[in-house]
């Protein structure tokens, strides 16, 4: 019974406790992104339809979906699932207001981001796809080699993810305008012709 009180036994027991604690700590940290029940994607999925740009409710006290958000932003989200085909994101940049886009994985991490400053000829054209989808598209590209590519092609790390759009209302009176700007970005799944 006095095992715990013998110096060597006690040390061994403490080592055992530390070993188990380290394992449990590391495992729980690594598992957190998988087990967090109300992560950002779950919150957004409760509100947004897949492959469709959905305007998020304004950031107001007690009604925030996501913490550490800026109430001066109008935000829209598009959830995607590439197993149905690549996602096409298109924006016409007409007014000079700030617009930012982030392309995220299922767990909310950004694999690409841009602002309206990256627009070409007043356009933002992005296709998000998997590696095999990219290969298929590049194969069919060879016919019109001379035309420069007018779109940005992104290979997503995962099948599922989302695009988050921020539009800044620089003045409170510009909120409606910012919401229109954010919601006007189109987002749709493309079906790829298979032979």
62: which DSSP letter? T
**109 binding another protein? (CB under 8 A):** yes
Q: Per CB under 8 A, which of residues 66..95 are in contact with another protein? A: 66-72
* Distance between CA atoms of residues 181 and 135, nearest Å: 33
Judged by CB under 8 A, the residue of 168, 175, 188, 192 near another protein is 168
* Distance between CA atoms of residues 122 and 102, nearest Å: 18
Judged by CB under 8 A, the residue of 54, 100, 133, 189 near another protein is 100
Q: Which residues contact 52 (CB under 8 A, 6 or more apart)?
A: 78, 187, 188
**156 binding another protein? (CB under 8 A):** no
Cβ of residue 183: shortest distance to another protein, in angstroms? 18
Interface with another protein: number of residues (CB under 8 A): 63
Q: What is the DSSP secondary-structure string of 145-190?
A: TTSPP-SEEEE-SSSEEEEEEEEE-SSGGGHHHHHHHHHT-EEEE-
The Cα angle at residue 163 between residues 178 and 136, in degrees rounded to 5: 135
**111 binding another protein? (CB under 8 A):** yes
CB distance 159 to 83 below 8 Å: yes
Pattern 7-36, binding to another protein, x per CB under 8 A?
------x--xxxxxxxxxx-xxxx-xx--x
Stretch that binds another protein, among 82-90, 104-112, 148-156, 181-189 (CB under 8 A): 104-112
- Contacts with another protein by CB under 8 A lie at 1, 3-4, 13, 16-25, 27-30, 32-33, 36, 38-40, 43, 59-62, 64, 66-72, 98, 100-105, 107-115, 117-118, 157, 164, 166, 168-172
């Amino acid at each position: 019974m006095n095992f715990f009180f013998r110096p060597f036994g006690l040390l061994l027991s403490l080592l055992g406790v530390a070993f188990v604690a380290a394992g449990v700590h590391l495992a729980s940290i690594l598992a957190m992104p998988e087990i967090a029940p109300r992560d950002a994607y779950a919150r957004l999925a409760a509100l947004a339809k897949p492959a469709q740009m959905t305007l998020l409710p304004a950031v107001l006290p007690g009604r925030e979906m996501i913490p550490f958000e800026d109430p001066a932003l109008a935000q829209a989200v598009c959830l995607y699932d590439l197993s149905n085909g690549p996602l096409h994101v298109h924006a016409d940049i007409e007014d000079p207001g700030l617009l930012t886009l982030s392309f995220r994985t299922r767990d909310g991490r950004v694999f690409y981001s841009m602002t309206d400053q990256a627009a070409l000829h007043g356009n933002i054209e992005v296709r998000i796809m998997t590696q095999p989808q990219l290969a298929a598209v590049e194969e069919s590209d060879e016919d019109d080699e001379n035309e420069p590519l007018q779109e940005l092609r992104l290979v997503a790390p995962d099948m599922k993810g989302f695009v988050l759009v921020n539009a800044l209302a620089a003045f409170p009176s510009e909120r409606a305008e910012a919401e229109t700007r954010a919601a006007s970005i189109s987002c749709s799944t493309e079906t790829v012709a298979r032979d």
